[in-house]
Structure 1
């Protein structure tokens, strides 16, 4: 799902079984999400760090759903609920969701929150972002995307939520004969500013991460995962080992010796 300060958060497809893992120390901790059975919720997960409280937290948004015999969702419920896990307290607690958020936002919610950006997680719904403050355990004000899906802007979203030098950013491609990919950044006043164009020798169909030092990580549907240097305007293949043929997700990872209460040694 996400990496933070050397810890990696993993989940199963239903986002019910969750694991916090340190690959360097080979220690881990298994968590079970509260309250709901595996089959009746749609979930969004976020993982981040409260630097003031020195606490790692997992945010889980659940929306009740109805599934048919084959397990496919046939109806979305009319409420969503937020659950927050604190590593310090080793417990889950309920978090009040804003009454002003429309159900259409929750129903369109992406499976994973964006990265922890300056102590906030950002959830993406229907053309909007909803921040969550990890220090105060509170939801913030809705932020409209620069080019919402439901408005005809002739632009195609080409990225997930990115952390670009400590700011929220997204990549869009203009539609038309002369398509141009651009990075848009959210400034301190809540306005989206075009930062620069991404000119590259091989187009990325999806941009996943900004790694720092002018490098992005993205995916070309034909040629696989690529590094992209926006200063040199070049792409380079990500050298996965030959036996890794089914990559589920990618995360930016920094080695650390962080250990949480209740960690077990990996066999």
Structure 2
């Protein structure tokens, strides 16, 4: 400790902080015990931002894999922390179980990451999670008033993003209120839509205006791009994209790319592609898939095409050098390199269509939650893949 204190006096404090901002969160967590000034500095907005920017600059990506091993209520969804050796070999470092979502059938759905934070949700249950600091926050129940005489409530699509003007993290959620009316002894169904918005700063929900479109689909990728969140939507039988600006809290729409097909023939997934909105299309039928990526830069342009990848079902995400994670027809995780056309089986499997890849950079952003262990979250060393 004396040697460390002496070393600190030999270096300007600004340089010390710059060096520390390049370290992993795990190291910084240990170093909080070195001295109170360090502990305080690690919690300042300047240090948090500098640490995150260093990770982005160096492309220090971490991988989580959401998966399930079956299709019954006894087969719980969980997360696997993937470890890479020199960027080549992938293995399961830890398996992470979240008791808060244990009784959910398909959950949790994942939105993000947004500055290293994930939003997990199923039905009316939602939580924020920083897997780097291991902080977990269960969102409070909505305080939005429901219409009178509601028979049931359905929580639909959700979006998660960052308001840079107020330094706030927000969750927007679509809600449908169902009614059953008895007319002439026959039951008739009716419904009223609502949209509610959660603010982390106020830790509360409020009601906002409902857009005149229907949103649908579960995202495989991160749909939060530069302060806006994007959904697939339909209006008067026309397919389009709905966006929500986290700063001004307004909805707007934009058209789909003219990709030369129909959504009856192709799946569509929206994503953040290097800081701009992307749209990836791939065929619904067959196991020899092609993938077309379009990006929005004022107008839609095709970024690239990948032709005829054999034995795969769907895309899961991009890796550091443009490689594409895919789910194989055998429901294993594979990595495809478009430059070499090489398809590499990573030996990691899951029950069909339960896999989701989350690539994120480490973040010190606080979410005013509790440590994982206080929420009974369990991390176990990775078993064989």
Q: Do the two structures share a fold, i.e. TM-score over 0.5?
A: yes
Could you say which residue in structure 2 is the equivalent of 1:11? 121
In structure 2, how many angstroms separate the alpha carbons of the residues matched to 1:48 and 1:154? 27
In structure 2, how many angstroms separate the alpha carbons of the residues matched to 1:26 and 1:175? 38
Q: Tell me, yes or no, if structure 1 residue 50 matches structure 2 residue 50.
A: no
Which has the bigger relative contact order, CA under 8 A and spacing at least 6? 2
In structure 1, how many angstroms separate the alpha carbons of the residues matched to 2:261 and 2:188? 27
TM-score for both structures, normalised by structure 2: 0.55
From the two aligned structures, give the one with the greater helix fraction: 2
Deviation of the 1:32 alpha carbon:
3.4
Could you say which residue in structure 1 is the equivalent of 2:96? none
Deviation of the 1:121 alpha carbon:
0.3
TM-score for both structures, normalised by structure 1: 0.76
Could you say which residue in structure 2 is the equivalent of 1:146? 257
Deviation of the 1:66 alpha carbon:
6.1
Deviation of the 1:96 alpha carbon:
1.1
Structure 1: state its 5+ residue gaps.
Answer: 68-73
Could you say which residue in structure 2 is the equivalent of 1:25? 133
Could you say which residue in structure 1 is the equivalent of 2:278? 169
Shift in CA distance, 266/201, structure 1 to aligned 2, threshold 3 Å? same
Query: Which runs of structure 2 are paired with 1:154-165 in the superposition (5 Å)?
Result: 156-165=265-274
Q: Tell me, yes or no, if structure 1 residue 92 matches structure 2 residue 205.
A: yes
The superposition leaves residues 37-70 of structure 1 with CA deviations (integer Å, 9 ceiling, x where unpaired) of: 9952141111122233221111111123469xxx
RMSD of aligned C-alpha atoms?
Answer: 3.5
Contact preservation (8 Å) 2:120, 2:127: yes
Could you say which residue in structure 2 is the equivalent of 1:117? 225
In structure 2, how many angstroms separate the alpha carbons of the residues matched to 1:212 and 1:121? 23
Number of matched residues? 245
Structure 2: state its 5+ residue gaps.
Answer: 1-109, 181-186, 374-385
Could you say which residue in structure 2 is the equivalent of 1:70? none
Structure number with larger C-alpha Rg: 2
SS of equivalent to 2:248: coil
Shift in CA distance, 31/228, structure 1 to aligned 2, threshold 3 Å? same
Contact preservation (8 Å) 2:160, 2:169: yes
SS of equivalent to 2:330: coil
Deviation of the 1:115 alpha carbon:
1.8
The superposition leaves residues 72-96 of structure 1 with CA deviations (integer Å, 9 ceiling, x where unpaired) of: xx99754322111111121111121
